[in-house]
Structure formats: C-alpha cells, structure tokens
C-alpha cells in the first residue's frame, strides 16, 4: 500500500502543476501595473479550477504523510522526481512544449537515479 501513497502524491502533484499551467496560459500574460497584477492574480485565485490545483497540492501532502508512515524519506523522496518526468511528458502532449536533447538527457538521469536509489531498500 505504501507505493500507492507515493503514486497518489505524484498524481496529485502533477495534476496541480498542469491545471495551473493550463488556466494561467488561458488567462494571458501578467499585466504591467501592480494594481492590475493584483487584480489578475486574485481573479486567478478565485477560479474554481485553479482552486482545484491548490486542493490537489493539499491532497498530495496527505498522501505524502501516509507514504512517510511506510518508507524512510531517503528511499521515498527520489520517487517524487517522477513528477518531473510526467509533467514534462504531459506538457509536450498538452501544451506542445519543445522536446530537446538536454531535457531528454536530464530526465534520463532522473530516471536512472530513481532506479539506483530504489535498489537501496
């Protein structure tokens, strides 16, 4: 069950990041004036979908607390790096973000690190 807690943490973390990116992209650029910035950010903050992203971060924290009851943090925490991989892959699909050799190399190192670290239980 411990791995399900880690998966839940990753899932809700990734959901929150993607939902925030999607809604902020739809809202447009941050205005120049400080009053306009404040209004812009408050409007985003009150958006129910943005709020679901914040709620998702809270739920991810609950899953993480549950995971901490099952694993040492030095073992479990590297799995959180999978969120980087999933956000990258989904951002390519959903937002047509560019894929570069450097990103692929970096993500490959992250996955290799997770594999090496997971062998230490």
Residue 49 · residue 19 · CB < 8 Å: yes
Q: How high is the pLDDT of residue 114?
A: 86
Residues 106-117 have pLDDT tens digits of 999 988 988 888
In the structure, what pLDDT confidence band is assigned to residue 118 with cuts at 50, 70 and 90? confident
Work out how many domains the chain is built from and give that number.
Answer: 1
pLDDT for residue 121 is more than 70: no
pTM: 0.86
Residue 29 · residue 41 · CB < 8 Å: no
* Structural domain harbouring 108: 2-118
pLDDT for residue 10 is more than 70: yes
Beta-carbon contacts of 62 under 8 Å, excluding residues fewer than 6 positions away, are: none
Q: State both tokens at 22.
A: 């999607």
Residues 24-79 have pLDDT tens digits of 999 999 999 999 999 999 999 999 999 999 999 999 999 999 999 999 998 888 88
Q: For residue 72, which phi and psi values (nearest 5 degrees)?
A: -70, 145
Rounded mean pLDDT, 7-19: 97
């Amino acid at each position: 069950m411990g791995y399900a807690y880690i998966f839940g943490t990753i899932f809700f973390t990734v959901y929150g990041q993607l939902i925030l990116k999607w809604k902020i992209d739809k809202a447009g650029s941050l205005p120049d004036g400080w009053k306009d910035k404040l209004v812009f950010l408050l409007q985003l903050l009150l958006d129910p979908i943005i709020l679901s992203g914040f709620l998702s971060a809270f739920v991810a924290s609950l899953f993480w607390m549950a995971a901490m009851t099952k694993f040492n943090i030095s073992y479990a925490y590297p799995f959180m790096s999978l969120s980087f991989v999933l956000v990258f892959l989904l951002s390519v699909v959903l937002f047509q973000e560019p894929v570069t050799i450097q990103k692929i190399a970096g993500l490959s190192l992250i996955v290799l690190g997770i594999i090496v670290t997971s062998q230490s239980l």
